[in-house]
Structure 1
């Protein structure tokens, strides 16, 4: 199933027709772009992995994976008209009103069935075998205070496993580091990609 998401992403890159791409993914998106690299490494110029995982199974202790699956089941058990996807620990502190608005807009299009599929895939995925095979420059961009994918638990093992990885930690940011620290986030991604174009 994860391979289907990767195939869709590959089709977009191929359709644009500009050659290998700088491919970024945050959280779930990072798991998808790792799967893209597994099946289509020729389409990837660089990887930008943001507050993500080598799958939950590949990055988290089994008890934490079980707790997240149980939390997701509770979230998904509400009636469809009351469904509002939320995850604890997305922000380092109290989010700004603009961040809350943006997250609400993004969440409005989430469907319970799609969320169930995504979370099931995350719980079962283990990309640890792939990491040493990655040969493209890889930026690991992390919020310092990310409690969903903590720097020491998740980012540092990725740094140790991916041969050409660089870790940049954004001070004061949480799991949604792109929203909490947009200026340093954008500057870091831009500099990394331009230096490798």
Structure 2
């Protein structure tokens, strides 16, 4: 246990201390991976859910002749939650779209699918809005990139630290200061951050 505490102290002091990611490095990563940092296309959809193909086809025909989809949803849909909102289901991406509803991904805004069958019944889905895919700005991606680079830097430093521990040349440390620090941790019941590290074998 005492040896593990000492290893953790060494790890925190020699590996994690002073890890910072310069803004220039964050910007460089963003510029290099700009094509990967795109928010996907999103589509806002509404639905009418009914019990039979005939009913769905009749409602779609009423929409074709000019009746508002939202009003038809309020009057006829069996989904009470979306019906109260005029059929609105909110925004979805291609990754979030169930396979049986894939037709909505190729429709223009305002269009309505042909009747689609699911375990719940028969659906008519209208695409009400389309938000195109767009690249994330540097400000939007900044914190996520910094965290990614921070983790990469920690892994690299840990690997280098373990490599040095295995070399013949001993690591020069203030042994007396470490002993005092570990003793104070044991008295208080606290412990430094735990990290899986290689045993210290001078």
**TM-score when scaled to structure 1?**
0.19
- Which one has more relative contact order, counting CA pairs under 8 Å at least 6 apart? 2
State which structure, 1 or 2, has the greater radius of gyration over its C-alpha atoms: 2
**TM-score when scaled to structure 2?**
0.19
